[in-house]
C-alpha cells in the first residue's frame, strides 16, 4: 500500500511476536506471585513493562527487531520453571529446524529441563538465555545476509543496464548510419548492403569488441551471483560485488577482448573457428518465402519473399568475432592462457 508515495509495509509476524511475548510476560508475573519462586519486584515489573510498545508494531526494520530481542531477553530472565521447560523445548525445536551451528551444544542442556530434574532455576535460566541469544544472533545474521544479497543485486542490476546500453549502442549507431550512403574506394555504397566495419571504419568495430568484452565479464559475475545467492557471505560481497571491484572485472573483460582481437589481427591465432577480419560487417539478409502452412521451403527451392523484405544482420565473420570477444571477457584465463601457450611455443 502506498500513501503519498511512501510505502507502508505491515509485518504481521513482528506484531504477533510482541503479542506472544506480552502474554508470556503477564504469565511470568502471575507465576512469580503465586509460586514464590524468585518473585519479581515492582521496580522490575515497571522496568520490563516499559520495554513493550504502547501500540501494535507493524514496521519490520532493524530497530523494531532489536527492541523485540531486548524485551525477549529481559522476559526470559524472569520465567518460571514451568515456562522455561516449555519455552526451551520450543526454541530447541526451532534451532533444529534452522540448523543452528551449535545445536548439539544446546541439546546437552536439555536434561536440565526434564520433569525429574533437580537443576536450580538459575541453571535453567542460563541455559534458556544461551539458546535464545544464539537464535537471535542467527536471525540477525540471516537478515544481514538478505540485505547483502539485495545490495549486491541492486549493484548488478545498475551495472547490467549500463553494460546492456553500451552493448547495443554500436548497433543503434549502425542503424542510424544505414540511412546514409558512403564512398568506399571511390564507389558509393549503402551501409545496408554490407558496410565493412573494420576496413572502412575500424574504430566503429573496435567499439563492438570492447562492448562484448564488457558483456562477457558482466555475464560471468551474474552467473556466479546466481550460483552463490543461497550461500552468499559478507566476504563474497566485498570481494566480488562491490561497485569498484566489479568495475575492475569489467575493465579486465574489455582489455581481454582488445588483446584477443589483436591476437586475431596478427594471426598469432587462426583457424576456421576464428573470424576472417577482412569480412566483418553488417548487411541485408533476404527473408525467404514460406509455405502456406507456415513452414520453410526446401533450401533448393527457396525464393525471396514477394514483399522484398530484408533484415539487417551481422555477417557470419562478425558474429564469430563478437562471440570470441564475449568469451575473452567472460573467461579470466582465456587470453592469459593463450599468451602463455604462444610464448612457450616460441620460447620467449
Mean pLDDT of 76-80: 91
pLDDT range class, residue 278, cuts 50, 70, 90: confident
**Does 156 lie in the same domain as 55?**
no
Instruction: Give the domain range for residue 212.
Output: 146-345
Do 160 and 307 lie in one domain? The reply is yes
Strands, E assignment, the chain: 2-3, 6-7, 181-184, 187-190, 193-196, 281-286, 310-314
Residues 66 and 88 occupy one common structural domain: yes
Phi/psi class of residue 307: alpha, beta or left (left: φ > 0; alpha: ψ in -120 to 50)? alpha
190 has a pLDDT exceeding 80? no
Distance (Å, rounded) from C-alpha 204 to C-alpha 194?
Answer: 14
Whether residue 299 contacts residue 305, with contact meaning beta carbons closer than 8 Å, is answered with: no
Same domain, 111 and 164: no
- Count the domains in the chain: 2
Q: State the pLDDT confidence band at 185, using cuts at 50, 70 and 90.
A: low
- Asked if 137 and 156 sit in the same domain, the reply is no
Domain boundary among 122, 144, 166: 144
In a shared domain, residues 84 and 115: yes
Examine the domain organization and report whether 7 and 40 are in the same domain.
Answer: yes
Coil, helix or strand at residue 285: strand
pLDDT value for 38:
61
Q: What are phi and psi of 211, to 5 degrees?
A: -65, -45
Residues 165 and 294 in one domain: yes
Residues 86, 174: one domain?
A: no
For residue range 220-234, list pLDDT tens digits in order.
999 988 888 777 777
Q: How many helices (H) and strands (E) does the chain have?
A: 12, 7
Does residue 248 sit in the same domain as residue 338?
yes
Q: Are 315 and 277 in a shared domain?
A: yes
DSSP secondary structure letter of residue 284: E
- Kindly report the average pLDDT of the chain as a whole number: 80
pTM exceeds 0.75 for this model: no
- DSSP conformational letter for 275: -
Residue 289 has pLDDT above 60, yes or no: no
Amino acid at each position: 500500500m502506498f500513501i503519498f508515495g511512501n510505502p507502508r509495509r505491515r509485518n504481521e509476524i513482528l506484531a504477533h511476536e510482541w503479542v506472544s511475548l506480552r502474554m508470556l510476560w503477564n504469565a511470568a508475573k502471575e507465576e512469580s506471585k503465586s509460586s514464590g519462586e524468585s518473585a519479581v519486584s515492582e521496580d522490575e515489573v515497571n522496568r520490563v513493562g516499559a520495554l513493550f510498545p504502547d501500540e501494535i508494531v507493524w514496521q519490520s526494520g532493524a530497530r523494531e527487531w532489536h527492541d523485540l530481542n531486548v524485551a525477549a531477553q529481559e522476559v526470559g530472565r524472569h520465567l518460571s520453571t514451568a515456562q522455561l521447560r516449555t519455552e526451551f523445548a520450543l526454541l530447541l525445536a526451532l534451532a533444529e529446524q534452522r540448523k543452528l551451528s551449535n545445536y548439539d551444544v544446546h541439546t546437552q542442556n536439555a536434561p536440565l529441563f526434564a520433569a525429574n530434574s533437580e537443576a536450580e532455576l538459575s541453571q535453567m535460566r542460563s541455559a534458556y538465555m544461551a539458546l535464545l541469544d544464539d537464535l537471535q544472533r542467527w536471525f540477525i545474521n540471516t537478515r544481514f545476509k538478505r540485505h547483502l544479497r539485495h545490495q549486491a543485486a541492486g549493484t548488478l542490476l545498475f551495472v547490467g543496464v549500463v553494460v546492456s546500453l553500451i552493448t547495443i549502442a554500436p548497433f543503434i549507431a549502425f542503424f542510424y548510419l544505414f540511412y546514409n550512403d558512403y564512398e568506399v574506394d571511390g564507389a558509393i555504397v549503402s551501409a545496408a548492403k554490407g558496410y565493412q566495419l573494420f576496413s572502412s571504419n575500424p574504430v566503429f568495430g573496435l567499439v563492438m569488441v570492447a562492448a562484448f568484452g564488457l558483456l562477457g565479464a558482466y555475464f560471468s559475475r551474474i552467473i556466479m551471483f546466481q550460483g552463490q545467492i543461497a550461500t552468499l557471505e559478507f566476504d563474497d560481497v566485498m570481494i566480488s560485488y562491490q561497485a569498484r571491484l566489479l568495475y575492475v572485472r569489467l575493465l579486465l573483460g574489455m582489455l581481454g577482448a582488445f588483446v584477443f582481437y589483436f591476437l586475431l589481427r596478427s594471426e598469432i591465432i587462426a583457424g576456421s573457428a576464428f573470424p576472417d577480419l577482412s569480412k566483418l560487417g553488417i548487411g541485408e539478409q533476404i527473408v525467404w518465402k514460406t509455405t502456406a502452412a507456415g513452414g520453410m521451403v526446401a533450401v533448393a527451392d527457396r525464393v525471396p519473399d514477394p514483399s522484398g523484405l530484408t533484415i539487417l544482420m551481422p555477417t557470419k565473420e562478425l558474429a564469430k568475432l563478437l562471440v570470441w570477444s564475449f568469451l575473452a571477457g567472460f573467461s579470466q584465463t582465456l587470453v592469459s592462457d593463450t599468451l602463455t601457450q604462444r610464448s612457450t611455443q616460441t620460447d620467449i
